[in-house]
Structure 1
Amino acid sequence: MLNTTYAKVLLGTFVLLISAFGVAYADHAWGKYHWDLSTVDTLANPLELGDNLSSSWQESLVGASSDWNNSVLKNQVAAGTSNANCDPTLGQVEVCNGAYGDNGWLGIAQIWVYRGKDGHIAQAIVKLNDTYFSLPAYDTSAWKDLVVCQEVGHTFGLGHQDENFTNANLGTCMDYTNDPDGSLYGQLNNEHPNQHDYDMLSSIYGHLNGTGDGTPGSGKGSGKGKPANVGTVTLNTPAEWGLAVAQDAQGRDSLYVRHLGSGVDVITHVLWAE
């Protein structure tokens, strides 16, 4: 029988081969959720990633911001305006880290969205759990880069390309893995987005750009990325996240919806530790 390491190498090689021939992975938009912003809007006023992070996370956030700026949705790292609870700020993404406890999750992305056919995001937060990232298994630049990249990607409207920790890496941070930089099994690096992520964002934001594929067009976005106040609520544990509506490949609840007042839902995407 093939040993596990050799099998992983073969799988990684197979993924490289099919990628070279342009095989597209499944649609991985996060439902219909997106910011009401066109590329023209975000070129003039980039979506802000509020930096509430300690020094050990700075490089990961700057790197993720740079990577995602290769997409049609432009962003910039800005001074964070949140607090110890990581409360959201209207019209932007707040990114926070803290010792959130031995609760099982590495990171969460939460978006506040208006109910209705448009699915516009009002505000979003990313939380990174130092209770786990202080442990040797996770206290590495590779794990931090992957998780920051993935959670920020969720706040832009992306889901996962794959949710199996033990199969071959797809070469994207939107893929679950136990080998973030690919060094354990000689496979693809999962610390950054890949072209399929950028293509998916082009599709998601195409209608706002006035083009079919999302490339910069006439900028038909209405500029409503900074909506009226939709309120805040503490959301640190599954009991506070609302109804579980999806599970990952391991059968763990990974997506939650909580209905708030005034026609607003808060959606939580959770990345569990192995």
Structure 2
Amino acid sequence: MNKQSVLVLGYVWPEPNSSAAGSHLLSQLKLFLKQGWQVTFASPAQLGEHKIDLNQFGIEQVPIKINCSSFDEFLLELSPTIVLFDRFMLEEQFGWRVAKHCPTALRILDTEDLHSLRNARHQALKQQTKVDLNSEMAKREIAAIYRCDLSLIISDYELELLKNYYGVPQHLLIHSPFMLEATNVTAPDDTFNVRQHFISIGNFRHQPNWDAVLWLKQKIWPLIRKQLPQAELHIYGAYPPPKATQLHNPKQGFLVNGWASDAKKVMQHARVCLAPLRFGAGIKGKLAEA
């Protein structure tokens, strides 16, 4: 039997230490490797500052271009038996090319989370209206699910929503939550009495995280400091923009520290993780870490 060849088309290059999505994607890549499959990762995105080197795992990394025939040539040469699209936008961009040039390849959509649900909740918050599940983005995302042979759904809530509200057949969906290794869960080195301060963590490029930081600054942290005047809130996250770093205020105990190379270690030294997410979708890596 010929060896399975998996092509993963990434919306961004994996950054497992920057986001839960990056960590989850790396788990899937490692799972493919455990099957003895040949794995190639390709992306049209720019290289991120915290991108992991996939070569160390034996995964070939290939930059690709959008709207370019060079991708067709790349497909024909690689001839993958499985193609995984990282988020529905990548399926929209490259799915028809895969269907044309690799018609027998199994096409899998990794939704990461339902982007349309996250966006609908965001709009509902901004406009103070009900969540609209019938947006144009929802139609696009559902269409991408129907075009693929299988879609990976990270939360059981989204799985039920797709089946019961949108009427997506069960055979097109599979529940694929975080792949957490229970053997890696160890007791923290420091006891609660030794640990200090509050923490909040999340990639600043993810809109729900930035909204949470603003809400902490404007509403929540002043109430906490009123009762705990010496308390400190340490905020970590990749790619903090100037508007975020400008919130840094030691006098208020509001400390914007930027990227943390080891989220677990940072968590172990804190007493409380604050995650006031007012909208979003999927499941939250920061809660699993905490």
- Indicate the structure (1 or 2) with the bigger Cα radius of gyration: 2
Q: Which has the higher contact order (CA 8 A, sep 6+)?
A: 1
Instruction: Answer yes or no: same fold by TM over 0.5.
Output: no
TM-score range, shorter chain: under 0.3
TM-score w.r.t. length of structure 1: 0.25
TM-score w.r.t. length of structure 2: 0.24
Please identify which structure carries the higher strand content: 1
